[in-house]
Amino acid sequence: MTKEKLAVGAYGYFDGENREYVITRPDTPRPWYNYLMNDTMVSMISNTAGGVCYDKDPTTMRLLRYRYQNIPYDRPGRYIYVRDNEKNKYWSACWAPVHTDVKKCKYECRVGAGYNIITFIQDNIKTEVTYFVPMDKALEIWDLKITNLGKKARNLSTYSYAEFAFWGALRDLMNIDNCPNISRQHYKNGTIIHHSYNDIGTGLHDMHFVMLYGFHTSNVKHSGYNGDRDKFLGRYRDEKNPIVVEQGVSTNYCKTSGYPIGCFEHKFTLQPGKTKRIVYQTGVAKNEKDVFVVSKKYKSFSNVDKAFEDAKNYWKEKFDLFKVTTPDKEFDAMVNGFIQYQAAMTLRLSRSISSYEWGIARAGYGYRDSCQDQLGMMHSLPEKSKIVIDHLMKAVYFDGGVAHSMHPAKKVYGVSSFYDCNNWLALTISQYVRETGDTSFLNSKCGYIDSKKEDKVIEHLLKVNDFTWRLRGKNGLIQTGSADWNDSLNPGNMKAESLFNSTIYCASTRELIKLLDFAGNKKLKAVLQKRYDAIKKLINTVGWDGEWLKRIIFVDGTALGAKKNKTLPKIFLEPHPWAIMGGSVEGERAFKMLDAVEKYLGCEDGHKIMEHGFETYDTKIGSAGIFPAGIKENGAVFNHASSWMIVAEAILGRGEKSMKYFKRMCSATKNRKAEIHESEPYVACQFVSQKPFHIIGRGRNGWLTGTASWMATATMQYIIGCRPDFKGLCIDPCIPAEWKEFNLQRVFRGTKYMITVKNPHKVNKGVLFLIVDGKVIQGNVIPYKKSKAPVKVTAIMGK
């Protein structure tokens, strides 16, 4: 373990070498979560082992119960109680749920990619519990090591605790009559098996019951077991003071009906300096026979050890596909670890289940979300990204509209009236082709939501662009629809025109032009270029307000984001970075515009989404005003949009500003003020509250947010500047002038590139030439050539 602690805060620090965040006290401002997963099993686990897990689908295959909006927070969890049988005293190996006085214990939680390791010391007894999901089985492993640090033998008991859900999340929440009365659980061969029926149909008209199998077991012979929650806890008690642990006597009861749990008691004497190890498994199987097949492998300590190393190595290999070493160690720790891990989780999970999403309403995919989620980690998860892209391609209506939301497994698709959604697809497909070099994908065929006809991918993209082109309003700009990217700016009249939709249409169209150019289709390229030029012109005339762009132009001619507004916000964030990314605002006007954004919206947490929040709800504007001013889309720093400013400034070559904006938002900064920020400091959250809200700097809604992919994109592709191109790898850094040199390891289309970027002239941006395996190449694109040996590259910066 490295001794260097980075960005030390009141609750923990970053361990850059091990790519971990180390939590040093358990009473964090809110539960701080991590995600552990393989291809099907997903576990959301807090720093004190609370949280939910499910297999494949959080709506219909929920294994462990979790109570949202519960008091106390973060219940229940994957608990292990420790009981001193001589003193009749007990505590928890993860601090929760017993909540020992923090001054009388020692605690540490190492949050890593694919695991949590919680260490707890009380009364000279040290416990270390490693929680992880093996790569090959639909189960969680809780690996307990308990050590006697004292000088005399100790008579101890341990009790595991896993509370099963009734599979269907909505039924589990609402059907209080049905669930406990249909529960089936029994004890067999050292395993508690939960096998209640679940309705996987679509409603009362389509009920379809299946028996699902969950289990809890351990690999050490137990002294007792408990399968009924209420009998384990006792009347009018909770997880903090279960009667069984208090009295030290298990019920050995596990029968049908009631609320099922998995709990095993182990009694033992622990000599001074000795360690006892117990491995628990909580998982899913196809049937009762399969329970024992699935759980057999990890009854072996050696198999558990190997599985843990495999889980760690899986993510290490992914992270090593892009690994940077710069003069800024905190920057390296963020980029080489949690920025990539969070982006990978959003790529895989979209917005399905989190601390603020129950995993019911959004168990599928949001279209715009999933398009953007692919951008940050496509280099390391191309096969996972391709699965999502295939879903996106099929979520297109025959008229070219795309579904705002989709649940491919259930074949449920949303409306096509959110007019920004169409603009994201070309950006995502272009990134996929650039990253993989798979040009044949453009000619592959896919169908539509409402038609059996199949067209090529490139034809889908053109049809989607046509759909948006038809949505021009009174002034010729792209209409808002039900809402553009900002769902809280949803004007009552859908024909209002959005400068955001117009700027991102330019970005999307320009990317599609590049795809067509690469594919050699000059005729269609010319048509799209005319469209691009027309919208660009209108952005700079109708949309320009002297120093910045308007936000929305209503049908009556009034506008949001206009200087002349006396009570409404004069300036909004969203269209400005996209005007840079799409090239629709250029030259001095581009610099002037971003300077205005910084002047009026910049703050220590990033950039506010608007000058100030709305005080009340206004149907003409939309639902932003239902939030107190300074919260969420109503005047907070909405990190997703704020991260676009890092990209925009890098495109303009202002490396000091780009890095400054990153530092405002990054995890290291949030960790130093964790008491105020409250949300997990090692990952980005959705928004940070601002004035006039009474708590400035409070973060909410961590992990599954569009911010994740854009922070990865901003740092890796624009600050470090390593981006995939159609013909090779582009090296286009935008860095602080003081950086003399940095090194990058990047695997691109199977070839490893060892890149050194030198900055002898202390510039922010610009590459004079490349030296690729000793050969000088003009420009900043490394031509792709498959190579088994690492390719050595030196990039010389200058103007």
Cα–Cα–Cα angle for 108, 113, 116, nearest 5°? 30
The Cα 793–Cα 758 span in angstroms is 11
Q: Report the pLDDT value the prediction gives residue 363, as an integer from 0 to 100.
A: 66
DSSP string, 514-583: HHHHHHT-HHHHHHHHHHHHHHHHHHHHTSB-SSSB-SEE-TTS-EES-TT-SSS-S-BSTHHHHHHHTT
DSSP structural state of residue 297: G
Backbone angles phi, psi at 412, to 5 degrees: -110, 125
Is residue 124 left, alpha or beta, with left meaning phi > 0 and alpha meaning psi from -120 to 50?
left
Segments of the chain with pLDDT less than 70: 1-2, 363
Q: What is the pLDDT of residues 285-304, one digit of tens each?
A: 999 999 999 999 999 999 99
Average pLDDT, the chain: 96
H helix or E strand, kind and range, residue 502: helix 499-519
Q: Give me the torsion for CA of 319, 321, 327, 328, rounded to 10°.
A: -30
The Cα 614–Cα 626 span in angstroms is 9
Count of beta carbons in the 10 Å neighbourhood of residue 257? 12
Residues 226, 232 contacting (CB under 8 angstroms): yes
Residues 656, 318 contacting (CB under 8 angstroms): no
Cα–Cα–Cα angle for 181, 192, 265, nearest 5°? 120
Tokens of 547: 């120093």
Residues 610, 584 contacting (CB under 8 angstroms): no
Fold topology of 471-603 = Glycosyltransferase (1.50.10)
Q: Token match 């959004």: residue?
A: 362
H helix or E strand, kind and range, residue 313: helix 301-319
Domains in the chain: boundaries: 31-318, 339-453, 471-603, 721-797
Tokens of 323: 């690994």
Equal fold, 31-318 vs 721-797: no
What type of residue is 202?
A: T
The Cα 339–Cα 551 span in angstroms is 30
Q: What is the pLDDT of residues 519-549, one digit of tens each?
A: 888 888 999 999 999 999 999 999 999 999 9
CATH of domain 31-318: 2.70.98.40
The Cα 545–Cα 593 span in angstroms is 10
Q: Give me the torsion for CA of 609, 612, 613, 619, rounded to 10°.
A: -90
What CATH architecture does domain 721-797 belong to? Sandwich (2.60)
The Cα 227–Cα 482 span in angstroms is 50
Q: What's the 3-state SS for 571-633?
A: CECCHHHHHHHCCCCCHHHHHHHHHHHHHHHEECCEECCECCCCCCCECCCEHHHHCCCCECC
DSSP structural state of residue 337: I
Burial of 201 (0-12, 13-18, 19+ CB in 10 A): middle
The Cα 427–Cα 717 span in angstroms is 14
DSSP string, 249-283: ----B--SSS-EEEEEEEEEEE-TT-EEEEEEEEE
Burial of 520 (0-12, 13-18, 19+ CB in 10 A): exposed
Q: Report the pLDDT value the prediction gives residue 1, as an integer from 0 to 100.
A: 43
Is residue 252 left, alpha or beta, with left meaning phi > 0 and alpha meaning psi from -120 to 50?
left
Contacts of 416 by beta carbon, 8 Å cutoff, 6+ apart: 397, 399, 401, 402, 403, 404, 422, 467
Buried b (16+ CB within 10 A) or exposed e, 705-734: bbbbbbbbbbbbbbbbbbbbbbebbbbbbb
Q: What is the pLDDT of residues 1-35, one digit of tens each?
A: 447 999 999 999 999 999 999 999 999 999 999 99
